[in-house]
């Protein structure tokens, strides 16, 4: 099953942090890291502490200029390994699994809550209230009272510019707006399991090209137009750059949700592709199902699949854990009328002990013929074995070129990731116009 943005192993995170600090491959730095870990193992300490400040830097070695592994958010739990010389070594799951050293004075025994922070604010001296208000905003960034408390605190302190910036931050958090960055081309993103990744650039002529892997598309709090089932369905807002720094992906929330959701799935753009609302898939008419099954049979026969295996594949219900079975989607496609998209992926029996596991895949695009029937207007099929894997599943649809007919987007399972196909309709036929946007697992 394809997965988006699997967190890097802790060793990789440490290596990245050392490299960022200019310590990679440096003998003394390696010795310092090894010595700190050895000392920690010699005097272990168990327990859990919680980040007390807006964010605490976790470092690969116990010193302030020792590089950064991650920025651990307020109230995040840190599982202790040891404590020495004013530093704690531990692990945290937020914003991603990480291990390293944090200053002990940035942690506390109990997780801060809104109630405890509001009590701290009431008891704080005037020159300490800004710090506490900032912690309240960090703990509850999508609740208006904390933002207003910070704005009022800055205003009372005579910091008009700080209050203005706090107001802008509040507006971005509570009322995000989609934006196209200066000099940025039209872009298509995919949103899967609560992560966004660039899929393609869209040229002035409507042609799709690979997104520039060296470009940073995810500044914090950036908004993107979000689409599902061919229609506009909110705003995808970037939550952080912890992943995009390394993998070209980023956590996103679909506003007004206040957190990333594994259920978030669809397409996003930096331009208003459509103002239409999402349209739910319709129940496939019997004629569409029959035509789809016949088209998939033809595709599997092209791959020399035996009749019995074809029928088993077509009767199998979708199993996304194993990426098997048949799927059928039916919907209205603007001026193209009623459509049906059928896909099937199936593992064939292994022929012998020395044979590799083989799977087959087929897909078909069908349009209504105006007489109650359906005709095939696009198809593909393949046989996959070993590292050579390519199994398309229908992902979503969106009118990218404004011609009144949505482009069709397929997610294509690869050996260690996924990429995407975009199909367009020209002269009554559907053709694959683009394949790219690879995301590893």
Residues 353 and 436 both lie in one domain: yes
pLDDT of 307:
94
Residues 79 and 220 both lie in one domain: no
pLDDT tens-digit readout, 98-118 = 999 999 999 999 999 999 999
Residues 103 and 118 both lie in one domain: no
Among 139-148, 232-241, 368-377, which stretch is predicted with the lowest mean pLDDT?
232-241
- Residue 205: count other Cβ atoms within 10 Å of its Cβ: 6
Give residue for tokens 């200029």.
65
CA dist., res. 48 & res. 62, Å (int)? 18
Answer yes or no: is pLDDT of 22 > 50: no
**Domain, as residue range, for 328:** 286-440
Residues 193 and 89 both lie in one domain: no
Global pTM value? 0.81
CA dist., res. 314 & res. 378, Å (int)? 19
Q: Is residue 96 very low, low, confident or very high in pLDDT (cuts 50, 70, 90)?
A: confident
Question: Residue 167 maps to which CATH number?
Answer: 1.25.40
The more confidently predicted of residues 21 and 242 is: 242
CA dihedral (28, 33, 34, 39) in degrees, to 10, reads 120
Q: Coil, helix or strand for 210?
A: coil
Q: Which residue, 341, 332, 221, 223, is CA-closest to 276?
A: 332
Q: Is residue 135 very low, low, confident or very high in pLDDT (cuts 50, 70, 90)?
A: very high
5 within domain boundaries: no
Q: Is residue 183 very low, low, confident or very high in pLDDT (cuts 50, 70, 90)?
A: confident
Mean pLDDT of 203-216: 85
Residues 435 and 296 both lie in one domain: yes
Q: Coil, helix or strand for 51?
A: strand
Residues 19 and 92 both lie in one domain: yes
CA dist., res. 36 & res. 32, Å (int)? 6
Answer yes or no: is pLDDT of 291 > 80: yes
278 within domain boundaries: no
Q: Which residue, 435, 411, 371, 376, is CA-closest to 265?
A: 411
Answer yes or no: is pLDDT of 238 > 80: yes
What mean pLDDT is reported for the chain? 88
pLDDT tens-digit readout, 319-342 = 776 668 899 999 999 989 999 999
| CA-based R_g, the chain, Å | 26
pLDDT of 25:
43
203 within domain boundaries: yes
Question: Residue 24 maps to which CATH number?
Answer: 2.30.30.40
**311-320 burial: b if 16+ Cβ within 10 Å, else e:** eebbeeebee
pLDDT of 27:
56
pLDDT of 152:
97
Q: Is residue 241 very low, low, confident or very high in pLDDT (cuts 50, 70, 90)?
A: low
Q: Is residue 2 very low, low, confident or very high in pLDDT (cuts 50, 70, 90)?
A: very low
179 within domain boundaries: no
Residues 340 and 246 both lie in one domain: no
Give the end of a domain, one of 74, 108, 142. 108
Tell me which DSSP letter residue 44 carries: B
Residues 203 and 122 both lie in one domain: no
Q: Is residue 244 very low, low, confident or very high in pLDDT (cuts 50, 70, 90)?
A: low
Answer yes or no: is pLDDT of 174 > 50: yes
162 within domain boundaries: yes
**Strand stretches in 77-184, DSSP E:** 77-84, 87-92, 98-103, 107-108
304 within domain boundaries: yes
**331-356 burial: b if 16+ Cβ within 10 Å, else e:** bebbebebbbbbbbbbebeeeeeeee
Euclidean distance between the first and final Cα of the chain, in Å? 9
Answer yes or no: is pLDDT of 4 > 60: no
Asked if residue 220 lies in contact with residue 410, where contact means CB atoms within 8 angstroms, the answer is: no
Residues 221 and 356 both lie in one domain: no
- Residue 212: count other Cβ atoms within 10 Å of its Cβ: 12
CA dist., res. 411 & res. 41, Å (int)? 46
Q: How many helices (H) and strands (E) does the chain have?
A: 9, 22
CA dist., res. 10 & res. 305, Å (int)? 44
Residues 265 and 400 both lie in one domain: no
Mean pLDDT of 348-354: 77
Residues 303 and 191 both lie in one domain: no
Count of domains forming the chain: 4
Answer yes or no: is pLDDT of 129 > 70: yes
CA dist., res. 422 & res. 433, Å (int)? 6
pLDDT of 9:
35
325 φ, ψ (degrees, to nearest 5): 95, 180
Among 10-24, 145-159, 291-305, which stretch is predicted with the lowest mean pLDDT?
10-24
Residues 101 and 120 both lie in one domain: no
CA dist., res. 237 & res. 173, Å (int)? 9
pLDDT of 265:
95
pLDDT of 16:
41
pLDDT tens-digit readout, 43-91 = 899 999 999 999 999 999 999 998 899 899 999 999 999 999 999 999 9
274 within domain boundaries: no
Give the end of a domain, one of 243, 269, 295. 269
pLDDT of 385:
75
277 within domain boundaries: no
């Amino acid at each position: 099953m394809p997965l988006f943005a699997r967190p890097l192993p802790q060793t990789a995170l440490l290596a990245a942090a050392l490299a960022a600090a200019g310590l990679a491959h440096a003998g003394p730095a390696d010795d310092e890291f090894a010595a700190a870990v050895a000392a920690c193992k010699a005097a272990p300490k168990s327990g859990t502490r919680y980040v007390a400040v807006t964010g605490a830097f976790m470092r690969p070695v116990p010193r302030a200029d020792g590089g950064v592994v991650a920025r651990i958010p307020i109230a995040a739990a840190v599982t202790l390994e040891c404590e020495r010389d004013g530093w704690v070594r531990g692990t945290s799951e937020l914003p991603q699994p990480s291990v390293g050293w944090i200053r002990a004075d940035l942690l506390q025994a109990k997780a801060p809550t809104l109630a405890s922070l509001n009590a701290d604010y009431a008891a704080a001296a005037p020159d300490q209230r800004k710090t506490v208000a900032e912690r309240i905003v960090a703990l509850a960034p999508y609740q208006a009272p904390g933002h207003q408390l910070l704005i009022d605190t800055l205003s009372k302190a005579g910091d008009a510019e700080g209050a203005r910036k706090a107001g802008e931050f509040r507006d971005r958090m509570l009322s995000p707006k989609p934006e196209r960055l200066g000099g940025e081309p039209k872009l298509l993103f995919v949103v899967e399991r609560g992560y966004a990744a660039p899929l393609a650039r869209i040229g002035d002529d409507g042609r799709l090209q690979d997104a520039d892997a060296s470009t940073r598309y995810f500044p914090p709090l950036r908004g993107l137009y979000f689409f599902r089932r061919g229609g506009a369905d909110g705003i995808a807002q970037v939550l952080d750059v912890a992943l995009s720094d390394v993998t070209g992906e980023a956590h996103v929330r679909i506003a007004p949700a206040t957190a990333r959701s594994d259920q978030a799935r669809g397409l996003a753009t930096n331009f208003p592709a459509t103002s239409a609302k999402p349209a739910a898939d319709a129940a496939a008419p019997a004629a569409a199902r029959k035509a789809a099954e016949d088209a998939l049979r033809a595709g599997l026969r092209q791959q020399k699949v035996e009749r019995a295996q074809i029928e088993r594949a077509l009767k199998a219900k979708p199993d996304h854990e194993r990426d098997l079975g048949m799927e059928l989607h039916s919907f209205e496609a603007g001026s193209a009328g009623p459509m049906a998209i059928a896909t099937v992926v199936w593992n064939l029996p292994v022929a012998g002990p020395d044979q590799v596991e083989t799977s087959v895949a087929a897909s078909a695009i069908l349009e209504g013929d105006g007489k109650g029937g359906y005709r095939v207007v696009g198809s593909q099929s393949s046989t996959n074995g070993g590292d050579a894997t390519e199994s398309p599943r229908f992902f979503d649809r969106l009118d990218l070129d404004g011609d009144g007919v949505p482009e069709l987007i397929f997610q294509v399972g690869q050996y260690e990731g996924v990429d995407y196909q975009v199909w367009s309709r020209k002269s009554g036929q559907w053709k694959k116009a683009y394949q790219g946007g690879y995301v590893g697992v």
